[in-house]
Amino acid sequence: MLGALVPRASPGPRDWRWQPVEPQRNCRGNPNCLVGIGEHVWLGEIDENSFHNIDDPNSERRKKNAFVGLTNLGATCYVNTFLQMWFLNLELRQALYLCPSTCSEYVTGQGIPKDRDYEPQTICEHLQYLFALLQNSNRRYIDPSGFVKALGLDTGQQQDAQEFSKLFMSLLEDTLSKQKNPDVRNIVQKQFCGEYAYVTVCNQCGRESKLISKFYELELNIQGHKQLTDCITEFLKEEKLEGDNRYFCETCQSKQNATRKIRLLSLPCTLNLQLMRFVFDRQTGHKKKLNTYIGFSELLDMEPFMEQKDGVYIYELSAVLIHRGVSAYSGHYIAHVKDPQTGEWYKFNDEDIEKMEGKKLQLGIEEDLAEPSKSQTRKPKCGKGTHCSRNAYMLVYRLQTREKSLTAEVPTFLQELVERDNCKFEEWCNEMSDMRKQSVVRGKIKHEEVKELYQRLPAEAGCPYEFVSLEWLQKWLDESTPPKPIDNTACLCSHGKLHPDKISIMKRISEYVADYFYRRYGGGPRLNVKALCKDCVVERCRILRLKNQLNEDYKTVTNLLKITVKGNDGFWVGKSSLRSWRQLALEQLNEQDDDADQNNGKMNGDAQNKDESTEEKREEEEELNFNEDLVCPHGDLCISENERRVVSKEAWKKLKQYFPKAPEFPSSKECCSQCKVSEYLMTFASHPNLLPETDELYIVSQFFVEEWRKFVSRRPTRCSPVSSVGNSALLCPHGGLMFTFASMTREDSKLIALIWPSEWEAIQKLFVVDHVIKIIRMQTAETSPESTLFNSEPKLCPECREGLLCQQQRDLREYTQATIYVHKVVDNKKVMKEAAPELNVSSSEAEEEREEAKPEGEQDPDFNQTNGGAKRQKISHQNYVVYQKQGIRRSTRHRKVRGEKALLVSANQTLKELKIQIMHAFSVAPFDQNLSIDGKILNDDTATLGALGVIPESVILLKVTRIVWYLSFSVCMPEEGFKGKTLISSPFI
Distance of alpha carbon 670 from alpha carbon 866, whole angstroms: 39
**What are φ and ψ of residue 388, in 5° steps?**
-140, 145
Q: What angle do CA 821, 824, 828 make, to 5 degrees?
A: 175
CA distances from 215 to 127, 761, 803 (A): 23, 104, 78
Q: Is 705 helix (H, G, I), strand (E, B) or coil?
A: helix
Distance of alpha carbon 471 from alpha carbon 896, whole angstroms: 41
Contact 824, 958 (CB under 8 A): yes
501 secondary structure, DSSP code = G
| Inter-axis angle of helices 161-176 and 123-136, nearest 10 | 110
Task: Point out the catalytic residue in the list 40, 332, 495, 771.
Answer: 332
Q: What angle do CA 103, 107, 108 make, to 5 degrees?
A: 115
Closest CA to 801 of 750, 725, 734: 734
Distance of alpha carbon 189 from alpha carbon 176, whole angstroms: 10
Contact 483, 475 (CB under 8 A): yes
Distance of alpha carbon 82 from alpha carbon 71, whole angstroms: 13
Closest CA to 923 of 838, 985, 821: 838
Closest CA to 889 of 748, 989, 681: 748
In 3-state terms, the chain is what percent helix, strand and coil (to 5)? Answer: 35, 20, 45
CA dihedral 658, 663, 669, 671 (to 10 degrees): -140
Task: Point out the catalytic residue in the list 27, 40, 52, 77.
Answer: 77
Distance of alpha carbon 72 from alpha carbon 550, whole angstroms: 66
Provide the 10 A C-beta neighbour count for residue 576.
25
Contact 159, 81 (CB under 8 A): no
Which stretches of 133-237 are assigned E, i.e. beta strand? 141-142, 194-202, 208-215, 218-220
Closest CA to 62 of 412, 338, 422, 350: 422
* β-bridge partners, 955: 821
Q: Is 224 helix (H, G, I), strand (E, B) or coil?
A: coil
Q: What angle do CA 327, 331, 332 make, to 5 degrees?
A: 150
Distance of alpha carbon 903 from alpha carbon 914, whole angstroms: 9
**What are φ and ψ of residue 708, in 5° steps?**
-65, -40
Active site residue 332: yes
| Peptide bond connecting 794 to the previous residue in cis, omega within 30 degrees of 0 | yes
Active site residue 77: yes
CA distances from 952 to 823, 829, 926, 958 (A): 15, 29, 22, 17
Distance of alpha carbon 219 from alpha carbon 221, whole angstroms: 7
Pairing of strands 955-960, 818-826: parallel
Residues known to be catalytic: 77, 332
